[in-house]
Amino acid sequence: MSDHHGNVAPLGVFDSGLGGLTVVHALRELLPQENLIYLGDTARVPYGTRSADTVVKYARGCARILVERGVKALVIACNTVSAVAIEVLRAELDLPVIGVVEPGAEAAVVAMARLAQTEPGPLGCVGVLGTAGTIASGAYSRAVSKINTRLEVVGQPAPLLVPLVEEGWLDGQVPELAVRRYVGPLIERGARVVVLGCTHYPLLRPVIERVAEDIAGRTVPIIDGAAATALAVSQLMRSDHIEPNGAGIRATLDLLVTDLPASFASVAQRFLAESLPSVAQIDI
């Protein structure tokens, strides 16, 4: 396998579809000098409803394509893959692999610790909104208990939120009602912080924040897994595992999809909040 070629080797990012572009957006903000290749497996989206074996198989295919393109690290911008396939990929690949679950869990634990300093009495638990697959996997519970065994995690599948985001319904009554339906049970079960356990959800963050505060009657910290993941990547780069790109280079962004490049491009614009490079279709 190639070594991590000089400085200009890109970071590879993949997801089952579009959602991982929130991670790309966060990486572009935090590490503007880094070249990125993004692969969205749009032919086989969604992963959240698939069996673990199928997700592992798909994840291997996506990883192989990015490794062949010489990436120096792999960012799994998909909660489902991070939940069920990250250990397999770490065992099989000789480059750093970062998922979205561990950074999100870590940020939630930090937020709970902050609350504990300001609020007396029992603290409640960490709430996670996610796809059915991510919630069923228990990945956030495991990741949180690795850091703090005393913190309880409650999960809530929120299947309507992804289609709302992809349709661009980011405000108004419809997303508000859907968010209320999912966030309500989390707050009732004692959630004091809410982790956005799906990379689509950051686009609904303002609605989620508002609804959670309204139901709880106080501020509820909302943990954006995409931003937490970008931070984890930058920390990994600083700890010298990954050679950073030289400053002053205009970073490139390559977008690859396995199907429907035109419809991907039209929605991707919303996720990235920048003008879009061309989208190439590839076969896996």
Active site annotation includes 62: no
**Distance separating alpha carbons of residues 133 and 84, to the nearest angstrom:** 9
- Classified as helix, coil or strand, 280 is strand
Give residues with Cβ within 8 angstroms of 98, minimum separation 6.
Answer: 73, 74, 75, 76, 229, 232, 233, 236
In one-letter notation, the amino acid at residue 230 is: A
Q: Residue 53, class by beta-carbon neighbours within 10 Å (0-12 exposed, 13-18 middle, 19+ buried)? A: exposed
Catalytic residue among 9, 78, 88, 223: 78
User: Of 273, 21, 270, 25, whose CA–CA distance to 170 is shortest?
Assistant: 270
Place of tokens 């661009």: 168
Phi-psi region of 43 (alpha: psi -120 to 50; beta: other; left: phi over 0): alpha
Q: Are the beta carbons of 78 and 47 closer than 8 angstroms? A: yes
Catalytic residue among 36, 75, 95, 198: 198
DSSP 13-55: EEESSSTTHHHHHHHHHH-TT--EEEEE-TTT---TTS-HHHH
Q: Are the beta carbons of 108 and 193 closer than 8 angstroms? A: yes
Report the chain's C-alpha Rg in angstroms.
18
Q: Residue 247, class by beta-carbon neighbours within 10 Å (0-12 exposed, 13-18 middle, 19+ buried)? A: exposed
Active site annotation includes 78: yes
Give residues with Cβ within 8 angstroms of 223, minimum separation 6.
Answer: 104, 107, 108, 111, 193, 194, 195, 196
Catalytic residue set: 78, 198
